[in-house]
Structure 1
Amino acid sequence: MINGIRVATVEEIPEGEGIAVSRELTGTDDDIAILRDEDGSVWALNDTCTHQTASLAEGWVENGHVECPLHSSKFCLRSGTVDGLPATRDTVAHRLEVRDGEIYLYPNERP
């Protein structure tokens, strides 16, 4: 995908929170969570926790991680690697670009 999919502006996502982008828009197998860390950086991971069905976009974002709201599994925002049980499987990270305050998603492209 050359130009990416515009999914939001940085200002639409408060620091420490996320939004979910529908799989119908992205063409992926799962919705994608766009997550904004407390330093203002934005990241994209598959939205469904790999432990049980919960939205990572509804989780807590801080210190380079997102914590699942259901059982507190933690995932690295940069890579999708599990950094806290009970999840044992990594999630998928997707490439993002911020241009003039707008967030563009490149589904299925590694960051």
Structure 2
Amino acid sequence: IAMISELAYHRVVVEEMRGSKTGGATPAERALRLEIAALQTEYEGFFRSTLAEGIASGHFRDQDISIAVRSFLMMLHAPIYWYQPRDAENITAIAEQLANMALGAVATPQ
């Protein structure tokens, strides 16, 4: 829900991080990029450990964790690329559908 409700912020962060390898950034911009990168690593680590636990317990399919985490997060973050707010749209339903699709990609088939 946060990704969709704070769409503009997340778009700016993604675009800024894409350009993080370019020169010309101020010291303050470089410091913020490093801070965002550290937070991103921590965020991905949460998903990595959760996926590893799910694989170990048999709830998630045994698969390459790095590929699964990056793909999982791409699906959850996809709205920054395509979502356009509309009046009276239920963003909770959109977020739930994305979460269900992402979980379906890693869950052990029943």
Q: Shared fold by TM > 0.5?
A: no
TM-score, with length taken from structure 2 = 0.24
Using CA pairs under 8 Å that are at least 6 residues apart, name the structure with larger relative contact order, 1 or 2: 2
TM-score, with length taken from structure 1 = 0.24
Greater helix content: 2
Greater strand content: 1
